[in-house]
Every structure is written in structure tokens, then in C-alpha cells.
Structure 1
Amino acid sequence: MEIDFKEIATYAVILIIVLIAAQHLNVVVSGSMEPAFYRGDIVMVEKANFLGINEFDPSTVEVGDVVVYDAAWYDQPVIHRVINITDINGTTMYVIKGDNNERPDPYYVKADQIKEKVVTVGDNLVVIPKIGYLSLWLRGL
């Protein structure tokens, strides 16, 4: 049996591409952003820090952007929309809210809490409908 290094290299490259792509997809776990996207959908994100690469700068986030941030009020990352940006004592603070929620999230958010931003093409969020349900089921969510 002969080892084909070209074939092994091809599989390795494919595996690396899949692993990188998987790191840029988030499963939506709640209905707080309906109708922009729904529970079980997958959104494509760019990261503030991916293996030392800054795909976007959190301080450039604008009103209307959908971001993933480390919430002080919840133990998992939250995917919601920036609805206002304000300055408090010289610090830029973001007001963030789920589109389907009545009120904004309970605390202001600093730029360093924003870890990812949902990718848009034109004015459309990049969403893959429903295929995240398997992940939710496997995680017991």
C-alpha cells in the first residue's frame, strides 16, 4: 500500500477550511431576533479576534449592526442589534436589543465585550435557515 501525500494534503486542506468555516457560524438559540432570523437558523459572523487576526474592529460597530457580545446579564454570548451608541464619561457604550424584545438589554455594552458581528451582504444578514436545529437538539437546547 502506497501513501499518496497529495491526497493526504488535499484532505488536510479541506479539513482546515471546514474547521475555519465552522468557527464563523453561530446557531441561533432563541427567538429574540425574529423576524431577522429564527431559533435554529445559523448566522455567519466575522470575529474581532480570530487566531490573532482582527476581522473587524468592535469600536467601528454602528447602529443597526447585529453583534455577538459577552453579556453581563447572561452566561452565554448574546446575538442582538445595536440600537444606540452613547458616550458615558469618555467611554463609548452601546445599547443593544433583540428585534423581538420589548426593551433593550439590561446593561450598556463596551466595545471590548463585542466579539463578533453578523456578516451582511448589502443590507441583508447572512443567515442559513433551520439547519442549526440538529445542534440545538444535540446540546439539549
Structure 2
Amino acid sequence: MTDWKEIAAYAVILVIVLIAAQHLNVVVSGSMEPAFYRGDIVLVEKADFLGIHEFDVNDIQKGDVVVYDAKWFNQPVIHRVINIAQINGTVVYEIKGDNNNASDPYFVTRDQIQSKVVTFGDNLVVIPKVGYLSLWLRGL
């Protein structure tokens, strides 16, 4: 017979894995090279994770790397904030991939920002190449 402590331990491990998985994003393109590469995984903090605000979107600064819901692409985009402005009283972010020649086609508003890539000191938290399996499984 299975001990209740063993079941509880498995439940705790499952919860930790599920929470960790929600804080990892696989990089699908080379638009942010050399900061990170296709197939890398970045650690993110969420603007809203089950009602918990792990960072305040109002605190986004020029140079931050964010994950946002792009109006021009069917998946979230991970790019760097290069400028912050106000248009008709609304704060907007100009965002660009480090390896791209031009900014993303539309300004981004606060409500589009889902996550921010975690930094340790001045370095982005990146796990190299581990995401290739995920890309392969998803046919990307």
C-alpha cells in the first residue's frame, strides 16, 4: 500500500514542475541574437500568474526584454524595449529584436505584456539549447 507521505511528495513535485514550466519560454527565432539563440530557454517572471503580479508592468524600462502578445504574429514575441512614449495619454513601448534591422511593426501597450525575462545582475537568465526538443515536438 502506498504511503500518504509518498503521494504528498509526488503532488508537491508535480506542482513545482507545473509552476516552473509556466516560467520558462522557448526561443523560436534568432531575432534576439546574441542575447539568446533559437532553442534556448529564458526564465521569465509573469505580469499575472494566477492573480500574483510577479513584476509591475508600470516598472518596465528601456532595455528590459519582455514577452508580449503581438498583434502582428500568432505567438508571443520576446524582444527588447528600446523606447517608451505616450500617445494620447497611453504609455506605449517601442520594441525590437536585438538582431532585427527595424522595430516591431506596432507599438505595444501595457496590457499586451505578459512576462519579463529575468536578469541576474546585468545578465539575462538563459538555459542554452535545452528548448530544441520542444521546437522539434511542435514542428517549429
Please report the TM-score for the alignment, with normalisation by the length of structure 1.
Answer: 0.98
Amino acid corresponding to residue 86 of structure 1 in structure 2 = A
Partner Cα separation in structure 2 for residue 118 and residue 93 of structure 1: 19
- Unmatched 5+ residue regions in structure 2? none
Amino acid corresponding to residue 3 of structure 1 in structure 2 = T
1:109 maps to which residue? 108
Residues 42-76 of structure 1: CA deviation (Å, up to 9, x unaligned)? 00000001011111111210000000001111111
Partner Cα separation in structure 2 for residue 76 and residue 32 of structure 1: 14
Q: How does 1:1-141 map to 2 (within 5 A)?
A: 2-141=1-140
What secondary structure sits across from 1:137 in the alignment?
A: helix
Please report the TM-score for the alignment, with normalisation by the length of structure 2.
Answer: 0.98
What secondary structure sits across from 2:101 in the alignment?
A: coil
- Root mean square deviation, CA, Å: 0.6
Amino acid corresponding to residue 24 of structure 2 in structure 1 = L
Count the aligned residue pairs.
Answer: 140
What secondary structure sits across from 2:98 in the alignment?
A: coil
What secondary structure sits across from 1:67 in the alignment?
A: strand
- Unmatched 5+ residue regions in structure 1? none
Runs of 4+ in 1 over 4 A off after TM superposition: none
Partner Cα separation in structure 2 for residue 83 and residue 5 of structure 1: 52
